[in-house]
Amino acid sequence: MTESEDPSRERLKHHFAQRVIHQARQILEIWQRLQRSEWSSTDLSELSEANLRLLRFAERFEQPEHYQLAQDISQSLQAVDANRGRLSSQLITEINRLMQRLSRTGLRHGDQLEQTFLPPLRKPVYVALQDHDRAERLARQLEFFGLSAQALDSVATFKASMIERLPAAIVMDVDFNGPGVGLKLAAQAQEGLDQAIPLLFFSLLETDTPTRLAAVRAGGQEFLTGTLEASSLLEKIEVLTCVAQYDPYKVLIIDDSRAQALHTERLLNSAGIVTRTLIEPIQAMAELADFQPDLIILDMYMPACTGTELAKVIRHNDRYVSVPIIYLSAEDDLDKQLDAMSEGGDDFLTKPIKPRHLITTVRNRAARARNLKARMVRDSLTGLYNHTHILQLLEDCSFRARREGKPLSFAMLDIDHFKRVNDSHGHPMGDRVIKSLALFLKQRLRKTDFIGRYGGEEFAIVMPDTDIDAAYKVLDEIRQRFAEIHYPAQPQDLWCTFSAGVVEMSDESDSLVMASQADEALYRAKHAGRNRVQSARQSKQSATFSSESTDSVINV
């Protein structure tokens, strides 16, 4: 047996990789805390020390990707130190970029197209239900989605498992091993832990308020009743356990006074907010399209135009109707302030302003705007981008890819024979399949990809910095894996497949042409027998084909 084939060596390498990933998570947790407060030298020292440990671990355990990232982060933090703890717009943007890259290394399967990423950290989810057979079935379904899950059948098994290894999350029946036992057991499990484990309570029947109150006091973050379905459960676990993507708020400052604009910029940068300053208000619309800010800070009085005039121009564009506009001015006349806010503004801050007041106002307004935008641009069933917004993202990504000379691929997917699912099993089952595929795509595509529900059972995916060969390979792997998921149904369990068409941006194609070409490729995949991925440049003969369903599987 060669050294590379030695299973013990492979297990050891995997263990080392997990040690490095644990340290990466520590850095990301510190960074997440910094996003919620004004940074201090103590905070940055803690971040620097954690990064130094990552550098040592990555070097010792031969993890070159993490080692390079730790070096880059170290250089950025040294630049902050050299600047006496002040963060320029360029530095905050660079550190955030590095943290985003770090959060994508080995933390979720399929985050990168290349096969060089580290294996994901697979802490198990403990499933403790009164009905152990149901727990076993649920655990198997969670495994289909790439999650490690373990069904536990007794209090003793649960306690032994907790001693052996802390889980990523716990799904606990309130009546596990007896009425109310699950509530007490979960509360005991959290005692003495430095960090609470995400806890989801379950009850087969609807419960009363005292029971739900006891669940909250035991540390429960979710309370589920009725039917436990793997894809919706996984969605909740994802929200509670995944390391957040660090997407800092972006603020566009429009002020003809360079000194005032730079002062505002420094205050916001010190709180980890990315800014861009515009001295010429006439350039505002072009800057908005390129920067896509979460919020605009606008001076009231400028030579080229007034703030209220510019606010009206901005509001004329439907894309920026919901972007908050905050006036920042020395104007202290209350009537004039109210008039300005009635002309497209959302708030009025008077100079001079305390840094904490400015930072808190910006954060709160930006957070609410993001939440509102998410509701406007996302599909209610799946949480994916809706038809209009995914096409807008395709247009934005096409513009950026052309400017930077990078590849861009676009794909359209359609669930095969979906009408049969609705006709045979009802629309609730159809919704489950749609939500299942949405979650499956989110699990296996990169965070940098954009996924939308194009309509009905059809999906669209924008894949920046991806050529057609890489896109085809990833989508075909997803297609094969999705076909393995089954949905409990009568008289037989249900299996589903999907077909896809994928296209790469060319010099001649714009976003509308790409959408049309991907749709044509999808049509060819359907016409050639379904359950395949068809590239826009492929012939029908070269399309990937999966074996026909057997009699034991429902062909949908």
In angstroms, the CA 80 to CA 87 distance is 6
CA terminus-to-terminus distance, the chain: 45
Query: E strands, 216-355, where?
Result: 222-225, 250-254, 274-278, 295-298, 325-329, 347-350
Burial 299-332 (b: 16+ CB within 10 A, else e): bbebeebbbbebbeebbeeeebebbbbbbbbebe
Residue with tokens 């429960």: 220
Interacting residues of 114 by C-beta distance below 8 A, sequence separation 6+: none
Contact 255, 261 (CB under 8 A): yes
3-state secondary structure of 199: strand
Catalytically annotated residue among 235, 265, 287, 457: 457
- 457 is a catalytic site residue: yes
In angstroms, the CA 236 to CA 194 distance is 22
In angstroms, the CA 407 to CA 159 distance is 51
Our measurement of the distance from residue 327's CA atom to the centroid of its chain's CA atoms, rounded to an integer in Å, reads 32
Our measurement of the distance from residue 352's CA atom to the centroid of its chain's CA atoms, rounded to an integer in Å, reads 38
Interacting residues of 17 by C-beta distance below 8 A, sequence separation 6+: 61, 63, 106, 118, 119
Q: Give catalytic residue positions.
A: 457
